[in-house]
Structure 1
């Protein structure tokens, strides 16, 4: 047997990475993916490099991670992603929030097993149409960017259940979202949305949460949208289940996702 006490701290950590498949290097001032990871890249399933100082990824930095399922790069300084991101064929969870991304490579569409894509708090002005190939995608968060429109291609993400586009510059939502029959939650607060396409409320048969706070749309306009009655029944059904479970709604009561003007109190 080898003498584990004779190993350096670095070697022991390296051996642990290889044995567990989990590499966690959070909050360490890391500026690039450590070169000593390349030797065990094929064994790594989780790579967490969040809250570091990584500003650039070379094409070769992601090569060899053939079994990687979870990649967390949140809280860095990335301005772009290498096209080699598309080679991570086993990737299910990709966290890129709180970076400086201005665009995304079309190769993201090659991630056939991707289920969670977190892109909030970046500088994106558009999303690639190639996302339509991400058929396994369940959660997409692009809140806090600079998006002025969403691509129709999102309507092809047939597994999508949660979509957060809050705090952008959207003036509308595409009717193509009505193809998302599994969509349950759509957060679109703090935009410039004045109307919701009827196709969305009619086609998204699982939708029970639509949040449109801080938008110019009025309750009357939403309530007159085709499909609203069915959507409202699902929304109320969700709260009925919450109440049946013993949870409290709080003083605000049932949130219908809209800003309603409160009536002034009548004088005594």
Structure 2
């Protein structure tokens, strides 16, 4: 029985001498096995702790020698074994929770002197240096020849960069790194992202700069990334659009979309309330979504997009008279904030309601509206704005929707009055 974890052996007599422990563990391998007791020439079961400084190991007798187990935080990979002789506490941390439970069960049986024939005992021998190395938290690979083909990535990694390795897909071994906080796969040939990236429950930075991505899946938008992802770099790819569910990634602070083929930004981008840095330069954006007004940014870069010159008289008519009953019902659900879901109404109606538009008057329109583009100074949504064009402008067209002819007429009257002034 072996266990790899961090260990600190604390002498309980230290406070009596005005001393205290370091409070910091050392990487170690713990083993439970038989050892010949020279005092009585009997084989007893011992716990041996091997560290980088003491690879030969220190042994502690277990039978009738454990005063208490402290296991309140065993699910977090932490526990303490209190020995009677010597008077020490063996503090364990950074262990795999299941392995730790099994190890403590074996130690408990050894302490009771139970039948040890069923215990998975180990040989108490010195360990190899690599077995007691400190946990590796950061790994950078920037050459294909350095890419690990026969060995796994260290499970303790929190930051992993694999660039310039010509990867055509994400290595599934990376997706077992549950402590991963930053994953940088820039400068590869990745075409598609597996939905299981969403299983990386600690991931806060995902960098996919300069790949061959053509889509960002709905599954990723609905994964645990909703709660963790703060930086997403999708620049220099082949993206033409982002799914409506993209705006479920509400922890995003920094979003990079430069040098793609985007023809539009997500309809509900205004739901990204924590977004502070947005760059979508050199795409194919002709107009910004109406929800763009709700953003509150520190830095915005939309340079190099073929924005149209807005004209209030240019509009697209999606109105019929009278309005269909379904449209009236959908508007009522949204305006009255009536709860809905696929368990109450058909799924396609839920999808329509998810992309409902808001008129200038504050009312909602779903599939029937008048659409026009108006000019907006980007300083209204961002403290710093990179110039939109070579002419030094910071204005960009933004879509506007009107629920009725009267609302559109009132908008035209107001636009005309501003023009006269």
TM-score (norm 2): 0.44
Tell me how far 1:23 sits from its aligned partner.
1.7
Between the aligned partners of 1:137 and 1:223, the Cα distance in structure 2 is 23
Tell me the residue number matched to 2:162.
49
* Counterparts in 2 of 1:151 and 1:15: CA distance versus 1, 3 Å: farther
Report the Cα offset of residue 136 of structure 1: 1.4
Relative to its length, the structure with more helix (as a share) is: 1
Determine the C-alpha separation between the residues in 2 that align with 1:224 and 1:145.
Answer: 20
String of CA shifts for 1:156-191, please: whole Å, max 9, x gaps.
Answer: 11111111111111101112111112x122211111
Whether 1:127 and 2:300 are equivalent positions in the alignment is no
Q: Distance in 2 between matches of 1:35 and 1:81?
A: 23
How far the C-alpha of 1:155 sits from its partner, in A, is: 1.6
Map residues 85-104 of structure 1 onto 2, 5 A cutoff.
85-104=197-216
Residue 247 of structure 1: aligned partner = none
**Aligned match of 1:74:** 186
Q: Out of 183, 192, 216, which is 2:306 matched to?
A: 192
- Per the TM alignment, residue 15 of structure 1 is displaced from its structure 2 partner at its CA by 7.2
Partner Cα distance (1:191, 1:223) in 2: 10
Note closer, same or farther for the CA distance 1:197–1:23 as it changes in structure 2 (3 Å cut): farther
2:278 corresponds in structure 1 to 163
Residues 213/23 of structure 1: CA separation in 2 closer, same or farther (3 Å cut): same
Q: CA deviation digits over 1:110-143, x for unaligned, max 9?
A: 2121111111111111112222111111111111
Give the SS at the match of 2:211: coil
| Distance in 1 of aligned mates of 2:132 and 2:166 | 25
Unaligned stretches of 5+ residues in structure 1: 226-268
Is 1:19 the counterpart of 2:135 in the alignment?
A: yes
Q: Aligned-pair RMSD on alpha carbons? A: 3.2
Residues 1:179 and 1:168: Cα distance change in structure 2 (over 3 Å): same
Alpha-carbon deviations, 1:224-258, whole Å to 9, x = none? 99xxxxxxxxxxxxxxxxxxxxxxxxxxxxxxxxx
Q: SS where residue 160 of structure 2 aligns?
A: strand
The structure that has the greater radius of gyration is 2
Gaps of 5+ in 2: 1-53, 57-126, 311-372, 399-421
Q: Aligned runs of 1:232-243 on 2, under 5 Å? A: none
- Tell me, yes or no, if structure 1 residue 154 matches structure 2 residue 269: yes
- Within the candidate set 395, 399, 405, 1:222 is matched to 395
Give the structure-1-normalised TM-score. Answer: 0.67
| Corresponding residue for residue 63 of structure 1 | 175
1:30/1:54 contact within 8 Å kept: no
CA contact (8 A) 2:287 2:396 kept: no
Hey, which of these two has a bigger chunk of strand by percent? 2
Of residues 100-109 and 138-147 in structure 1, the stretch that sits farther from structure 2 once superposed is: 100-109
Partner of 2:385: 209
> 2: CA distance between counterparts of 1:224 and 1:89?
38
Tell me how far apart the structure 1 counterparts of residues 150 and 200 of structure 2 sit (CA, whole Å).
18
Q: Which residue of 1 aligns with 2:353?
A: none
Residue 18 of structure 2 corresponds to which residue in structure 1? none
| Runs of 4 or more consecutive aligned structure 1 residues displaced over 4 Å after TM superposition | 195-203
Cross-structure match for 1:105: 217
